[in-house]
Amino acid sequence: MQTIETEVLVIGGGATGVGVARDAALRGFATVLVERKDLAEGTTGRYHGLLHSGGRYAVKDPQAARECAAENGVLRRIAADCIEDTGGLFVTTPWDDVEFGDRFLAGCAATGVGVEEIEVGAALVREPALNPDIRRAFLVADASMDAWKLAWACARSAVEHGARVLTYHRVTEVLRNGDAVAGVVTVDVRTGVTLTVRAQVTVNATGAWAGQLAALAGCRPVDVVPGKGIMIAMNHRIVNTVLNRCTMPSDGDIIVPIRTVSVVGTTDSPVTDPDQLEVTQAEVDHMLDEGEKLVPGFRKARALRVWAGARPLFGAKEPGDEKTRDITRAHTLLDHRQRDGLDGFVTITGGKATTFRLMAEETMDLVARMASPGTDRPCRTATLPLPDSEPGAYYAVGSRLAQRERHLLDDQLVCECELVSRRDLTEALDRRPTANIDDIRRALRLGMGPCQGGFCTYRATGILHHQERLDQATANRALLDFLQERWKGLAPILYGDQLRQARLDDWLYQGLLDVEHLPAAAGAP
């Protein structure tokens, strides 16, 4: 079995994990990150896409509001390319208490969240689809943030500073050296090859899986309850500003415009296994009904896809946890030496994507004290821009189109919905060889538009195979896997035009191409 040695080992390739890895690498630590799937395949790639202004927590959770407000400013500086500066509105719909607006304003003022109450008429001019019966409107600095871009930019930066990022490496065992964690054993889930990573400090950044991972380390139970939330992407930009209900946080009260779509969400229900997140009909209907309150006619819009993510909710049932737990209620940093007498092991969980950098900074402050006591290695992530964000320009919704128009004659459009070209695809594959079209989806948004892979699934398979990146059986498998992956998010929302689209895709893949009789399909489960 191969073994590698490092100073800092990070488990989990979500926003938190890549944030910690980048922070560690920038501080000069030898760093390795292991992720059991692709980067941002956990909660980070399934979140609502909102870079919080802090407004949502201004009344309910001032600490979280304060952190969001500060990090919103930081991320706008260092991660501009991942952010679309949509702005956000908090609106009082007929279902909401008008007085709450006053508490909201006071909360924002107390927590440093920038806010301005505007005329209802001005809000309606800005967002014509908004419910005309709203009674108050407040403008905040909400924005939408691309989780995949963010995760990959952090990872790239970490790698540029010497870190190793190992995707598809699942931790199966946590190695102990007496009262200390000495590293982990991973298995490459694609090849079955095992790898040992020995480290001075191991950071458990596995989000909703943090409890499972801590159990492998054999410490006292870390009580993380996965809280399931569903989101539905609607065709088109129904709105161009993030819309929030001005009320206590509840279900289905936010619509976020992301790239080509608008996403409504979300829910919150405790589940036992973060890998089993079923979407029910009732939840879908609930989201559509709530969406209707913010944007009348919402139900008539075309739903493209539904998915669910799992929030890591830290329970703190164990006596003593309150003490060892970091002061903020927004996220949880556990020093297992203090908590369990287990050296070289730290858990960071909870929080928001918006605060990932802060979480990483606090984690690495602790880790730096453990790994190199007495030396001063300050955090640099608050000021150093991520790759592609150096110019400081926000992403704009038309930018892909502008880019496409420059190459109309010399490049092929592989995914019309998301404007992905053959060159984009080839470059993404050169950067990151992969046998998995779903990885490409996350890198490029391939197959995420209205046709949900209707055309590009075949094309991507054909190109990957043509460029000899996939052998025949793997190509066939990749095509079928991607169709299955798309189906998972379609089945619960199939009605209206998306049902029509799905039937067209049935005709294309089964009626025309006969993919169910591909050689690989024979042995399929």
Ligand X SMILES: Cc1cc2nc3c(=O)[nH]c(=O)nc-3n(C[C@H](O)[C@H](O)[C@H](O)COP(=O)(O)OP(=O)(O)OC[C@H]3O[C@@H](n4cnc5c(N)ncnc54)[C@H](O)[C@@H]3O)c2cc1C
Interaction site with ligand X (CB under 6 A):
11-17, 34-37, 41-44, 47-50, 52, 170-171, 205-209, 213, 229, 265-266, 309-311, 351-354, 504, 507-508, 511-512
Q: Are 203 and 9 in contact (CB under 8 A)?
A: yes
Out of 60, 77, 431, 503, the only residue in the binding site for another protein (CB under 8 A) is 503
User: Is there binding between residue 300 and another protein (CB under 8 A)?
Assistant: yes
Q: Are 130 and 243 in contact (CB under 8 A)?
A: yes
Q: Is the dihedral of CA 102, 103, 104, 105 positive or negative?
A: positive
Residue facing ligand X at closest CB distance: 14
- The one of ligand X, another protein, none whose footprint includes residue 14, by CB under 5 to 8 A per kind, is ligand X
The answer to whether the peptide bond before residue 457 is cis (omega within 30 degrees of 0) is: no
Query: Least distance in Å: CB of 147 to ligand X?
Result: 7
Q: Are 330 and 351 in contact (CB under 8 A)?
A: yes
Q: Which is nearer to another protein, 77 or 466 (CB)?
A: 466
Would you tell me the crossing angle of helices 472-490 and 437-444 to the nearest 10 degrees? Answer: 60
Q: Which is nearer to another protein, 144 or 476 (CB)?
A: 476
Pairing of strands 136-140, 115-118: antiparallel
User: Is there binding between residue 190 and another protein (CB under 8 A)?
Assistant: no
User: Is there binding between residue 276 and another protein (CB under 8 A)?
Assistant: no
How many CB atoms within 10 Å of residue 435? Answer: 16
Q: Which is nearer to ligand X, 64 or 379 (CB)?
A: 64
Out of 476, 477, 478, 489, the only residue in the binding site for another protein (CB under 8 A) is 476
Would you tell me the crossing angle of helices 472-490 and 456-466 to the nearest 10 degrees? Answer: 160
Q: Would you call 220 helix, strand, or coil by DSSP?
A: coil
Q: How many residues does the chain have?
A: 525
Buried b (16+ CB within 10 A) or exposed e, 207-234: bbbbbbbbebbebbebebbbbbbbbbbb
Query: Least distance in Å: CB of 25 to ligand X?
Result: 17
Instruction: Check residue 493 and give left, alpha or beta (phi > 0: left; psi -120 to 50: alpha).
Output: alpha
Q: Which stretch binds another protein (CB under 8 A): 245-253, 346-354, 375-383, 402-410?
A: 402-410
User: Is there binding between residue 390 and another protein (CB under 8 A)?
Assistant: no
Pairing of strands 88-92, 242-245: parallel
Q: Which is nearer to another protein, 197 or 493 (CB)?
A: 493
Q: Which is nearer to another protein, 172 or 484 (CB)?
A: 484
Alpha-carbon distance 495 to 493, whole Å?
A: 6
- The one of ligand X, another protein, none whose footprint includes residue 300, by CB under 5 to 8 A per kind, is another protein
Alpha-carbon distance 429 to 148, whole Å?
A: 15
User: Is there binding between residue 401 and another protein (CB under 8 A)?
Assistant: no
- The one of another protein, ligand X, none whose footprint includes residue 272, by CB under 5 to 8 A per kind, is none
User: Is there binding between residue 409 and another protein (CB under 8 A)?
Assistant: yes
Query: Least distance in Å: CB of 375 to ligand X?
Result: 27
Q: Which is nearer to another protein, 56 or 302 (CB)?
A: 302
Out of 305, 479, 489, 523, the only residue in the binding site for another protein (CB under 8 A) is 479
Question: Under rule CB under 8 A, how many of the chain's residues touch another protein?
Answer: 54
Out of 52, 441, 459, 477, the only residue in the binding site for another protein (CB under 8 A) is 459
Out of 7, 216, 455, 469, the only residue in the binding site for another protein (CB under 8 A) is 455
Q: Give 65-69's long-range contacts (Cβ < 8 A, gap of 24+).
A: 65/107, 65/108, 65/111, 65/112, 65/113, 66/111, 66/112, 67/328, 67/330, 67/354, 67/355, 67/358, 68/113, 68/352, 68/354, 68/355, 69/111, 69/112, 69/113, 69/114, 69/141
Q: Which is nearer to ligand X, 273 or 471 (CB)?
A: 273
Query: Least distance in Å: CB of 248 to ligand X?
Result: 17
Interface residues with another protein (CB under 8 A) are: 281, 285, 288, 299-300, 303, 408-414, 422, 455, 458-459, 461-463, 465-466, 472, 475-476, 479-480, 483-484, 486-488, 491, 494-496, 499-500, 503-504, 506-508, 510-519, 521
